[in-house]
Amino acid sequence: MRNIKLTIEYDGTRYQGWQRLGDSDKTIQGKVEKTISQMTGEPIEIIGSGRTDAGTHARGQVANFKTTSEKSLADMTQFFLTYLPKDIVVVDITEVSERFHARYNATSKQYSYYIRQAALPSAFGRNYHYYVSEALDWDAMQEACDRLTGTHDFLGFSALKKTKKSTVRTVDSITMTREGDLLHFTFIGDGFLYKMVRIMMGTILAIGKGEMTVNEINRIFEEKVRKDAGDTVPAHGLFLDHVDYQK
């Protein structure tokens, strides 16, 4: 039995997220599984490093699947190029050990969120960034990024209802850069809860607009109440950049 690791790039605009649903043609996982099953002649279930929401994009989603197919990696690459939709591209295929698991073996993830801050929105980038017209306090947002880093219970910054699993995560860094009208926020951590990046981003924006203070972040960590954090920003500004694994 072979274990095949895929690195996948996709534009999530027209999909209902990564996770397979009843109508698999509307999810990334469903599309990829259907194509692999056609390629191998076997019923295939792929394991992703994590779920991305409807509208979220990826430059480096990682998944793996097991197969008895003897098709070469080069032939697989060509099959994907031929039969996958043009907004889903398998950018790398490798054969890995049988024990490799795309979700359980992941040690860190990097996400990017893009905001266009300008007088007018863009007709071209509307599916890839969030438009904000208000003035933003750069120094306050930087302080918010610093407060959100470290090891904390992030339940108050997630959309989780109930869970028996730990909601403690480590955010290694949140960085901000500006290129003209485009603000680029990079989030790196050992893992992120449901909608956690989008809620942290909404909180940073609220602080930048003066709607919240930086000190409220500490209270949210302590009280773990979701409604006290900022809005959940739209998914279309979010990209999964890459997933790291221990050697």
pTM over 0.85: yes
**For residue 238, which of 205, 198, 194 has the smallest C-alpha distance?**
198
Copy the structure tokens of residue 218. Answer: 């500490």
**Of these residues, 11, 23, 25, 53, which one is catalytic?**
53
Q: Which residue has the tokens 């054969």?
A: 95
Per-residue pLDDT of the chain (247 residues; tens, 9 = 90+): 999 999 999 999 999 999 988 766 799 999 999 999 999 999 999 999 999 999 999 999 999 999 999 999 999 999 999 999 999 999 999 999 999 999 999 999 999 999 999 999 999 999 999 999 999 999 999 999 999 999 999 999 999 987 789 999 999 999 999 999 999 999 999 999 999 999 999 999 999 999 999 999 999 999 999 999 999 999 999 999 999 998 5
Helix (H, G, I), strand (E, B) or coil at 34: helix
Beta pairing partners, 244: 108
* Contact assessment for residue 159 and residue 195, using Cβ atoms and an 8 Å cutoff: yes
* Residue 209 φ/ψ region, left for φ over 0, alpha for ψ in the -120 to 50 degree band, beta for the rest: alpha
Please report the domains of the chain, with CATH numbers, ordered by start residue. Answer: 2-96 (3.30.70.580), 107-245 (3.30.70.660)
- What are the backbone angles phi and psi of residue 246, rounded to the nearest 5°? -65, 145
Annotation says 228 is catalytic:
no
SS3 (DSSP) at 4: strand
